[in-house]
Amino acid sequence: MKNTLLVIAALAIVSCKQQIVSDVQTAPTQIGVNAVVTENGDLNVTDAVEDVTFKTEEASQMHAAYLSLKGALVNTDPYEAAEIASNFKSTLESQTESDITRGLSDDLALISVSKDTAEQRVAFENISKKVEVYLSSEITSGTIYKQYCPMAFEGKGAYWLSNSPEIRNPYYGDKMLKCGVVDKEIQ
């Protein structure tokens, strides 16, 4: 009798699990996902890249540093992310201080001392918000793509900025590289 109950329980668990799996829908950007990996293993490479110009050199430097940090997180490389964050923070310190640059420095400091990608990604969400505010008023030509992953942070969702309309998700890296959508084009 005890064995019969165990078999029934096991079948119920397997049946439920199979039903749950079949109900899971794949995001449109995940269909046929074959990550493009370059010779050096970079998952952040895309076919389309938008050139963007800004009013100031400071804004151009911030944009370039932000994209490098995003790339390190796409590649799930906490050591590279920490190094880039440290360099990004140094670049900000040479610029005119503002509320945004002070806030960015704090978040970048968190990334630069952490070797935990999950912690770095939480700080990156804050960085993305602040960089968007700053760059939105500085752009003179081109497009910055504000992208969104609804699954990030256990369904809370999170945004990031990109120089390409192609999704490369910094919150999941190779686990869900192309999960997300372009939410807005900043011009």
- Residue 147, pLDDT score: 96
Percent of the chain exceeding pLDDT 90 equals 64
Confidence label for 185 from pLDDT (cuts 50, 70 and 90): very high
Do the domain assignments include residue 143? yes
- Please check the confidence at residue 123 and state whether its pLDDT lies above 70: yes
For residue 161, what are the domain limits? 37-186
Q: What's CA 114's distance to the chain center, in Å? A: 17
Do the domain assignments include residue 18? no
Number of H helices, E strands in the chain: 6, 5
Do the domain assignments include residue 12? no
Do the domain assignments include residue 10? no
Do the domain assignments include residue 80? yes
Do the domain assignments include residue 11? no
Query: Is the distance from CB of 134 to CB of 62 less than 8 angstroms?
Result: yes
Confidence label for 174 from pLDDT (cuts 50, 70 and 90): confident
Q: What own/partner pairs with CB < 8 Å and gap ≥ 24 does 63-66 have?
A: 63/131, 63/135, 63/144, 63/163, 65/91, 66/127, 66/128, 66/131, 66/161
Helix (H, G, I), strand (E, B) or coil at 33: coil
- Residue 40, pLDDT score: 57
Joined together, the tokens standing for residue 117 give 């990608």
- Please check the confidence at residue 25 and state whether its pLDDT lies above 60: no
Confidence label for 44 from pLDDT (cuts 50, 70 and 90): confident
Q: Work out the average pLDDT over 31-39.
A: 42
The most confident of the ranges 14-28, 94-108, 118-132 is 118-132
Confidence label for 12 from pLDDT (cuts 50, 70 and 90): very low
Number of domains in the chain: 1
Output DSSP code: residue 134: H
Do the domain assignments include residue 28? no
- Residue 1, pLDDT score: 53
